Structure 1
Amino acid sequence: MKGLYRCKRYFYLLPFLFISTLTLMMGTGPGCFETSLMVRRMLLDQNLNNTCKLLKCRSEEDCKNIKEENQLRFQKLQSDILSNRCYSILSRVKHGTPEELEVPLSFSILAHRDFQQLFNLLEAVYRPHNLYCIQLDSKSDAAFVKQVSLLVQCLSEVHNNIFISKKSISLIWQHSSLLEGDLLALQQLLEFPHNWQYYVNIVGSEFVLISNSELVRKLKTVRNNIGFVDIQFPHSQVQDRWKYSYELTKGAESGKADTTLFGSYYKNVPRVTSSLKSLPPKNLTIMYGIKNVAISRKFADYVINDELSKELRVWLKDVLVAVEHFYPTLATVFIKNINYNSNINNNNSTENLKQIPFQDFSFNKDLVEFQMRKTFWLNSDHYCYGQIRREICVLSLLDLPAILQEKGFVMNKFDSDLDPSVVTCLNEMIYGLDKEA
């Protein structure tokens, strides 16, 4: 019945879909104006009044002109960054609301390609009072690294609250390097002289669903000492991730192994071995959840400096998708008399080792009151209008109505090579403006 309801709900789209199918058979996709009309109709059906400049176009030519203007605007910004003309970048910086200033945040951003998408994400979340660390992939091409470095340099000239991680590592999909990238950034954020209260981890291919001020408002409702961490008990298929050790193919970390169109970040994934894994440290119950978190400074300090956290970090190095297990598992752990201060002294750390850790699952519901990331998977109810890559929908403008129904901090996944207009529209809808260069 649920499927039948969806069919009836979008029955009016059949003419559009029929035309789209014909155009696809002829080797082209639906036109710009046609796509805009489809999105507007879907938004009306969902009683959503959200709009952006592109959705107001009145003809194919008008639509194409708007898209071209948006692209030329970014190219101008890109040129300014490469020429070290920082004024145009600094003039676009959003300043925090009084509510945001009460809860300063720190962000880590993992990135390996697509400067346009990274720029859009950073522009959305960047505020002068927060702190930011960008963790780059050591395999990223030189042009991408140069653009990121110059952008950071521009922002740092005035605000001194953003930096590139001191250590560049090889980031590989499903590998523990993604967890290491997060933790390398987090450690530097903890060491930086700044009064941030919560740590947020995101990646360059994501984009926000809500503003920073809305996130801060939600963080103010936190009733635990941790924040927002997705926690689930792992099902049997997930538990297979730590039955045997996983290892990388030869040359994967250097990027010398086989690559795909999107680079060795995706191609050289960890492969299962015949070596059985040891039991988790202190026989912990390994938990499972999405990688994105918003965690308090106290908990952030714990995951970096506590001895049990260090043991778990090492144990997860040969576990598939380690980043989905580290934060959720540690969030359930409570050790009596742990010192949560930033300067944990060696005596206390040694004493902590004598304590027997246990896990408390009674507050899991509090930790998942707000989801930090949303994704449309291949097996979800949502029809992907963009492209399916590795079972994830890479989003396009036609996915916008479904995106706006999601409740979370960021949405995954976007690619400016596929369709930059969906992020442009989201940005205008969230911040209620059409930014000019």
Structure 2
Amino acid sequence: MNAAPNYDQKKPGIQKMTQLETVKSGFLVCIVGSVFIFAFIYVWNTIPKEDNEHKAVPELAECGFYPDELCSALFEGKEAAPRIGHLCQQALGGQEISACIRTPCNCSMVQKRLHFITSPLSEEEGNFSLAYIITIHKELDMFIKLLRAIYAPQNVYCIHIDNKSSKDYKAAVKTLVNCFENIFIASKRENVIYAGFSRLQADINCMKDLIHSKNQWNYVINLCGQDYPIKTNKEIIQYIKSKWNGKNMTPGIVQPPHIKHRTHVSYKEYIHSGKAYVYPTKNVKSQPPHNLTIYFGGAYYILTRKFVEFTLTDKRAKDLLEWSRDTYSPDEHFWITLNRLPDAPGATPDAKWEGGIRAIKWRDQEGKSHNGCRGHYIRDICVYGLGDLKWIIESPNLFANKFEPTTYPLVMECLERRHRLKLLQQAEVPLEEHWYLQEHVHFNMKLNI
């Protein structure tokens, strides 16, 4: 008689399948556990720790509301601040301040919404007028940030808009400019090409307009759309009066050998399919007019009114301008060459690189004048990142270059807040509520002055 089957014993195939399923389950548990552990480690390393260093840095949740402490940490060069700052970039940046001038709005509202200073902040400033030449072609928000930082009702501003700029951009700038009696657009505009004569001509166009303006300004300063002031209007005036009273500031030296190619052969400007550049020809240039010694320096200056009149009327200046039409980057030799003439108004014949107009991190100066760029380089010039803020505010220069608020919004956010706070602290008149950039006037930002 056959024995009854034992259903408690599993068949060999079934037993193997069960063992396989057990292994698979264990493997899945292992994977899930590993993912959990790695996720925990990542979050732990990302969240700021509660040590003494991070107590000076706000929590991430507060980035969009109280960024002054974060900015202070960046200005102090605290090690963790740039990392936390990058996490806060999107919370603090990205707000288009230009939206105010793209919608119907009366000029009084535009001035208030954009926080323009509407009265001289001291008697000293009210009695010393500065003229500004600003060449722009893009990034409307950056232009507004620059303009409201340097704006004062006793000053005068000539805005040169590149002819290649879009119609919408030109219209927006015009809308803003029309709200101020002391700001105007250059009467003649150029298709500006980097390193071309058109860049120099743009400044001269503005100078002609400024000379005929009703404002009796003392000095003229030229800027581009990616500049921003480190010093306040009062500090700029005091620096000029104490160090350069009646003198022009054109940092530079006699043209060095490796630069002479710029004026040795003719160059031509070329625009095609939206691309513009300057290229050399094989034509050798004549010697400079009037046996002038050609100097080399920065394209940015601070000039007296009398010197500007001289450059527009003197025979040597006119001939040098004409000779410079086919040179490379003539704005880097024109102003300084004329300012080294002993009989030019406010001339500084023996000056070299003195002046301290602009703070720039050049790539070839790493390890010499700076410790590297914390943003990125464009044409060997640093576009400032968060780690550059301490270096910027410690610079003795009046302005800094170069900024890209769309790339590093928190850099501009911090500099704007610091600059406006310092400006208002120096004021000697009652303050208007709309002059504050901060929503909370009980802010506490360390200026490190």
Q: Distance in 2 between matches of 1:420 and 1:189?
A: 33
- 195 and 65 in structure 1: CA distance in 2 versus 1, 3 angstrom threshold: same
- Partners of 2:376 and 2:383 within 8 A in 1: yes
What is aligned with 2:404? 415
CA-to-aligned-CA distance 1:209-254 (integer Å, 9 cap, x gap): 11111010011124564322112122111111111001123xx1xx
Selected match of 2:68 from 52, 60, 82: 52
Q: Distance in 2 between matches of 1:32 and 1:183?
A: 53
Does structure 1 residue 392 correspond to structure 2 residue 400?
A: no
CA-to-aligned-CA distance 1:375-394 (integer Å, 9 cap, x gap): 11111223212121111111
- Partners of 2:266 and 2:282 within 8 A in 1: yes
What is aligned with 2:341? 333
Q: Distance in 2 between matches of 1:310 and 1:118?
A: 31
Q: Distance in 2 between matches of 1:31 and 1:303?
A: 58
Q: Distance in 2 between matches of 1:164 and 1:360?
A: 31
- Partners of 1:219 and 1:227 within 8 A in 2: no
CA-to-aligned-CA distance 1:169-205 (integer Å, 9 cap, x gap): 1011111111111110111001111111111111111
What is aligned with 1:200? 221
- 283 and 93 in structure 1: CA distance in 2 versus 1, 3 angstrom threshold: same
What is aligned with 1:298? 306
Deviation at 1:372, TM superposition (A): 1.1
- 151 and 166 in structure 1: CA distance in 2 versus 1, 3 angstrom threshold: same
Deviation at 1:414, TM superposition (A): 0.8
- Structure 1: which amino acid aligns with 2:178? Q
Selected match of 1:283 from 291, 294, 298: 291
- Stretches of structure 2 that go unaligned for 5 or more consecutive residues are 1-44, 58-66, 74-79, 423-435, 440-449
What is aligned with 1:106? 131
What is aligned with 2:426? none
Selected match of 2:145 from 94, 107, 120: 120
Which secondary structure does the structure 2 equivalent of 1:425 belong to?
helix
What is aligned with 2:167? 142
Deviation at 1:82, TM superposition (A): 3.4
- Partners of 2:94 and 2:406 within 8 A in 1: no
- Partners of 1:121 and 1:208 within 8 A in 2: yes
- Partners of 1:82 and 1:147 within 8 A in 2: no
Does structure 1 residue 93 correspond to structure 2 residue 101?
A: no
- 165 and 315 in structure 1: CA distance in 2 versus 1, 3 angstrom threshold: same
- 63 and 375 in structure 1: CA distance in 2 versus 1, 3 angstrom threshold: closer
Selected match of 1:371 from 345, 350, 356: 356
What is aligned with 2:446? none
- Partners of 2:92 and 2:413 within 8 A in 1: no
Q: Distance in 2 between matches of 1:136 and 1:31?
A: 44
- 62 and 272 in structure 1: CA distance in 2 versus 1, 3 angstrom threshold: closer
- 121 and 317 in structure 1: CA distance in 2 versus 1, 3 angstrom threshold: same
- Partners of 1:80 and 1:88 within 8 A in 2: no
What is aligned with 2:437? 435
Deviation at 1:31, TM superposition (A): 8.1
- 63 and 186 in structure 1: CA distance in 2 versus 1, 3 angstrom threshold: same
- Partners of 1:105 and 1:198 within 8 A in 2: yes
CA-to-aligned-CA distance 1:351-392 (integer Å, 9 cap, x gap): xxxxxxxx9733x15xx5432112111112232121211111
What is aligned with 2:37? none
**Equivalences for residues 324-363 of structure 1 within 5 A:** 324-335=332-343, 361-362=349-350
Which secondary structure does the structure 1 equivalent of 2:296 belong to?
coil
- Structure 1: which amino acid aligns with 2:356? Q
- Partners of 1:53 and 1:66 within 8 A in 2: no
Q: Distance in 1 between matches of 2:174 and 2:248?
A: 31
- Structure 1: which amino acid aligns with 2:91? E
- Partners of 1:117 and 1:205 within 8 A in 2: yes
Which secondary structure does the structure 1 equivalent of 2:178 belong to?
helix
- Structure 1: which amino acid aligns with 2:285? K
Does structure 1 residue 322 correspond to structure 2 residue 311?
A: no
- 178 and 205 in structure 1: CA distance in 2 versus 1, 3 angstrom threshold: same
- Stretches of structure 1 that go unaligned for 5 or more consecutive residues are 1-29, 42-50, 341-358
Q: State the number of aligned residues.
A: 354
Which secondary structure does the structure 1 equivalent of 2:223 belong to?
strand
Q: Distance in 2 between matches of 1:117 and 1:152?
A: 15
Rg larger in structure: 2
State which drifts further: 221-230 or 377-386: 221-230
